[in-house]
Amino acid sequence: MKMKKPKFVVLRGRPTSGKSSISKLLKERLCAVSPQIKIEEEPDKSVIYDQKFYRSLVKKFSEKIKELVEKNDVVQERYIYSNIVNEFLLEGKINKIPKDIIKPDKIIYLTADLYEIERRFKKRKKRSKRECIENVRKMMKVYEKILPKNKTIKINTTNRDPENAVNEIIERLDK
């Protein structure tokens, strides 16, 4: 099912909420694309985040998205919103969204109940130090502040398979 006109959709949400699985299915169902950018340098893995690096990466993605959205629907799993949340966790302040990047038409905010997130955390083989309920609560508060209410579709993935969540997303995008 193709959306009526090309759109730029961003998926964001709590850790373990299903972003990767849902993003893959959503791209398939919408015949959408995601920008592919060759990353020539990676930040030091011992540092949680090299924010300057990630901000510059978002700018590159934004430029590529501007090109792609002219002809295609674009579904992007990570974008500036995750940078802002991570900066808050590191610095304790909410930074502004740069004016020179393309803004999404819709943001799909995936969530799950806290007990479900903890259960999913335990199933992960690799778990980062940031993946704890305390950080998830902080992240939720920041996302609630920075995501524009008129563009955000909130989907709870607790006790749902990704296909079911994607069906609801597509239905709500078409409205």
Residue keyed to tokens 């966790």: 89
Residue keyed to tokens 């078409």: 174
pLDDT at 165 over 90: yes
Beta bridge partners of 75: 9
Residue keyed to tokens 């920075």: 146
Q: Mean pLDDT over residues 7-33, rounded?
A: 85
pTM reported for the whole predicted model: 0.80
What H or E segment, with its residue span, contains residue 74?
A: strand 74-76
Q: HEC states along 82-148? A: HHHHHHHHHHCCCCCCCCCCCCCCEEEEEECCHHHHHHHHHHCCCCCCCCCHHHHHHHHHHHHHHCC
pLDDT of residue 162: 93
pLDDT of residue 72: 82
* Domain 8-173 top-level CATH class: alpha beta
Q: Give the amino acid at 109.
A: Y
Helix axes 133-146, 80-91, angle to 10 degrees: 120
pLDDT digits (tens, 9 = 90+) for 75-101: 887 777 777 777 777 777 777 777 888
Q: Please name which of 133, 164, 126, 129 lies closest in space to residue 18, comparing C-alpha atoms.
A: 164
pLDDT digits (tens, 9 = 90+) for 23-78: 889 888 887 777 665 544 444 443 444 556 666 777 787 888 888 888 888 888 77
Report CA torsion sign: 30, 31, 37, 42. Answer: positive
